[in-house]
Amino acid sequence: MDDELMALADVEAVTALKKSSIYARVSARTFPQPTKIGSATRWLACTRFR
């Protein structure tokens, strides 16, 4: 399903990056922006992480 959401732990597993690296890249706009759902942060599962 294309609209499934991934938690940070899932993104870390797919990219082999740690939380600090992911958020540094998000801030630099070189990594896909997450979506906030309440207090949770999620990425679309269909997103390509490079």
Buried b (16+ CB within 10 A) or exposed e, 29-38: eebbebeeee
pTM reported for the whole predicted model: 0.85
Q: Tens of pLDDT along the chain (50 residues)?
A: 457 999 999 999 999 999 999 999 999 999 999 999 999 999 999 888 87
The pair of three-digit structure tokens given for residue 29, joined into one six-digit string: 């706009």
